[in-house]
Structure 1
């Protein structure tokens, strides 16, 4: 049976760690004593993050890389294992949000979104699962989103990629639990990050990124499959799925202001 990890069992690997949730999760894990291998494309931000972690119980190591690079992610994982220790925990958080207005539909936004949000996760999973399988233990969290529950305005590419991640996490949980690898999915509500700054609709129960990181790290200490927050909002979205589609879509249109013919198009 899979079991959750702790700083004594190895290193935490966090992707998308240069900003937002990934950055704050890396800092929170370091405060809890983890050695954190932080991956993102921007080396300067990673170095600043490692410096900020000085004096904490653990430490942060900058591991520059692009999750869309299959070979590169294998190399990053091997370097972590060789130089820092076994990867015991993965928080696969790297993601991109490209808003799309269906009245000006852009297919290339889907290609970019899925390359990062889905294939990028798969590129990290391959070396991580191989290493954990050899040891018979490990923990993996995929950061998806409540937009994966159902359609929301401007989120056709982003929401579809996150729905795919939720499905992927469920499958991995079924298949990897018997060999000692615990898989979880993180479904946050609206978090105050650069990705959400310009959403053209209300964002109920908006949370700060540090608060979200605290919720995630607390959830990682459990065996629960889904880590979702704030529940007063995310459980409402879950409940909408039990309604007939006609009612659910009408409620979403009304709540987001997209029931008006003059809804402002994206720039």
Structure 2
């Protein structure tokens, strides 16, 4: 019997690439996103992809969908990948941008966890994977909303792992750097060590298959940012300010 995974944000970018990869490996894939037409295109390419048009921030719709699943339906892997990025101007902080960013990146993850955690295939070492970002390792200009949301979801994943330590559920925190997707192509700054989305999807599949609790890629960027985060606080702030210019 084929294993089953569910991936949010599966209509484009990293989510789409990961859903396609799992499908190509013979998994039954539940592809979740708001864009029904893009999901239909994905499903047309893979017979084992089930399109699920849902907004991860809509707790009522998500609860209704989960309740309506056939009895006995479980998931071996759930990847909470749906996310958004909005940059802000400190001179006029856009409160709506913060609300939108946190609604998807944080509340969406919590909402999905609430309703999908009970559906994980107990006894088979299932994985709940949560996608954060390396952005929260270091303070970047105009990233107050995005970076803070990714820091929040990373803490959520780590805390969740503690509370699930007595179960067989593996909580995997995924912290990618710059991945070549439609979202990052909107950036107007240099993106060091930009990674192909297919390579990133393979890193996710391989890491989850190996039972990893944390995935960071590309490694070169991870090493640089973690090293910068170890600098004395004042020096780190000065360096961050110079990088803004």
TM range (shorter): over 0.9
CA distance in 1, matches of 2:33, 2:205: 19
CA distance in 2, matches of 1:109, 1:103: 14
CA contact (8 A) 1:90 1:140 kept: yes
Shift of 1:111: 0.6
CA contact (8 A) 1:17 1:94 kept: yes
CA contact (8 A) 1:96 1:116 kept: yes
- Note if 1:113 corresponds to 2:70: no
Structure 2 residue corresponding to 1:16, chosen from 6, 9, 25: 9
Aligned to 1:65: 54
CA spacing shift, 1:130–1:144, aligned 2, 3 Å: same
Which SS does the other structure have where 1:74 is aligned? helix
For structure 1, which segment, 70-79 or 29-38, has the greater mean C-alpha deviation from structure 2 after superposition?
Answer: 70-79
Aligned to 2:154: 166
- Note if 1:177 corresponds to 2:157: no
Aligned residue pair count: 245
Shift of 1:195: 1.5
Shift of 1:50: 0.8
Which SS does the other structure have where 1:73 is aligned? helix
CA distance in 1, matches of 2:31, 2:85: 20
For structure 1, which segment, 191-200 or 86-95, has the greater mean C-alpha deviation from structure 2 after superposition?
Answer: 191-200
CA contact (8 A) 1:133 1:179 kept: no
CA contact (8 A) 1:13 1:36 kept: yes
Q: Could you tell me which runs of 5 or more consecutive residues in structure 2 were left unpaired when the two chains were aligned.
A: none
CA RMSD of aligned residues (A): 1.9
CA distance in 1, matches of 2:81, 2:160: 16
CA contact (8 A) 1:11 1:87 kept: yes
TM normalised by structure 1 equals: 0.86
1:1-267 map, 5 Å: 8=2, 10-54=3-47, 59-79=48-68, 81-82=69-70, 85-132=73-120, 137-254=125-242, 256=243, 258-259=244-245
CA contact (8 A) 1:205 1:230 kept: yes
TM normalised by structure 2 equals: 0.93
Q: Could you tell me which runs of 5 or more consecutive residues in structure 1 were left unpaired when the two chains were aligned.
A: 1-6, 260-267
CA contact (8 A) 1:177 1:183 kept: no
Which SS does the other structure have where 1:103 is aligned? helix
CA distance in 1, matches of 2:241, 2:227: 16
CA spacing shift, 1:95–1:140, aligned 2, 3 Å: same
CA contact (8 A) 1:77 1:127 kept: yes
CA distance in 2, matches of 1:110, 1:205: 27
Shift of 1:249: 2.7
For structure 1, which segment, 154-163 or 124-133, has the greater mean C-alpha deviation from structure 2 after superposition?
Answer: 124-133
